[in-house]
């Protein structure tokens, strides 16, 4: 399917690896020029070079922590005039409700709620002026069904979801859509980071811990960054202009919900 977005420009945050890279690759495959971001410059340059070589699009890199105000200023400067924004950052650490203090919440809110809001606030006006734009926020299945150990993530991402619910309806009249893409379990470093402690706690191997977790997913496997990226690119396509303010689960059926 021709996504109809060749020649457009996108900022994809936190995209040297994992789900962000999956989104960058799928957008590049559709002919979209990119601004890619991550903290580690070496992995970011390697990812950008792989995208350029595979798809022949222009890729600019901005190595910085997108959750800081200084980092946001850097990516916003590089991304002036983009048509597409994909927000993403690392997720907060797991823990227990009684462990977290105010500073932990502020860090989580900064990373997973206030950063995407700041990027939208800076880049939506350019999209509105052009009468066309797409925003996809990478959030989590935890906004539909809580993951108890990820209370910081549950809280911050649900706050972003509430913001998007209203804001998407304010920008839709200008041809700009905002939607959230909700990953379930995907085979990335983040999944390994969560599987590792479980394996250790149960005295089993990482592979065994992964197999146990995969067995809880109706699709009986982890998702891939490529599949996730394809879903993101579709939400950024010409065909998705009537999809507004939605929360699309990409989880192999793992979130047990009727709607
Ligand atoms: P990942 O494989 O660990 O990749 C994270 C990417 O983000 C890397 O490129 C990393 O590069 C970059 N990054 C992290 N923090 C950053 C920051 N502060 N500023 C700029 N770049 C940053 O993670 P993932 O699995 O793709 O997860 C992406 C998001 O989806 C996370 O928020 C995660 O919690 C959420 N999620 C993932 C899953 C899953 O199963 N994978 C499920 C639900 C939700 P640097 O380290 O070099 O910065």
What is the tens place of the pLDDT at every residue in 159-184? 999 999 999 999 999 999 999 999 99
> How many whole angstroms separate alpha carbon 232 and alpha carbon 19?
10
At 190 the pLDDT is 81
- Closest by CA position to 255, among listed 164, 142, 102: 142
**Res 39 pLDDT > 90:** yes
State the pLDDT confidence band at 116, using cuts at 50, 70 and 90. very high
Mean pLDDT along residues 209-220: 96
The rounded Å distance from CA 19 to ligand 1 centre is 7
At 59 the pLDDT is 98
**Res 194 pLDDT > 90:** no
The rounded Å distance from CA 18 to ligand 1 centre is 6
Task: Find the residues whose C-beta lies inside 6 A of ligand 1.
Answer: 14-20, 37-40, 43, 65-67, 88-91, 138, 140, 183, 185-186, 188-191
At 181 the pLDDT is 98
Question: Model's pTM, two decimal places?
Answer: 0.97
What are the residues whose beta carbons fall under 8 Å from the beta carbon of 138, sequence distance 6 or more?
19, 20, 23, 86, 87, 88, 180, 181, 183, 232
Q: Ligand 1 atom closest to Cα of 92?
A: 34
At 210 the pLDDT is 94
Place of tokens 């890729």: 59
Mean pLDDT along residues 234-248: 98
Mean pLDDT along residues 94-119: 97
| Minimum CA distance residue for ligand 1 atom 48 | 39
């Amino acid at each position: 399917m021709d996504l109809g977005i060749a020649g457009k420009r996108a900022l994809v945050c936190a995209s040297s690896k994992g789900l962000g890279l999956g989104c960058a690759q799928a957008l590049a495959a559709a002919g979209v020029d990119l601004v890619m971001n991550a903290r580690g410059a070496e992995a970011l340059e390697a990812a950008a070079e792989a995208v350029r070589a595979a798809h022949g699009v222009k890729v600019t890199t901005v190595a910085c922590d997108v959750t800081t105000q200084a980092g946001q200023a850097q990516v916003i400067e590089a991304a002036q005039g983009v048509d597409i924004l994909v927000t993403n950052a690392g997720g907060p650490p797991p823990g227990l409700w009684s462990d977290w203090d105010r500073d932990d919440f502020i860090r989580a809110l900064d990373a997973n709620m206030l950063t995407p809001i700041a990027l939208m606030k800076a880049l939506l006006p350019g999209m509105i002026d052009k009468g066309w734009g797409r925003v996809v926020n990478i959030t989590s299945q935890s906004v539909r069904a809580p993951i108890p150990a990820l209370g910081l993530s549950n809280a911050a991402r649900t706050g972003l979801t509430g913001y998007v619910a209203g804001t998407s309806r304010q920008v839709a009249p200008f041809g700009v859509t905002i939607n959230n893409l909700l990953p379930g379990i995907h085979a990335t470093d983040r999944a390994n980071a969560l599987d590792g402690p479980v394996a250790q706690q149960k005295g089993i191997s990482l592979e065994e811990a992964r197999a146990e977790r995969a067995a809880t997913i109706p699709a009986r496997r982890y998702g891939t960054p490529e599949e996730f990226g394809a879903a993101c690119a579709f939400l950024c396509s010409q065909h998705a202009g009537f999809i507004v303010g939605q929360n699309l689960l990409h989880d192999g059926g793992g979130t047990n919900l009727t709607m």
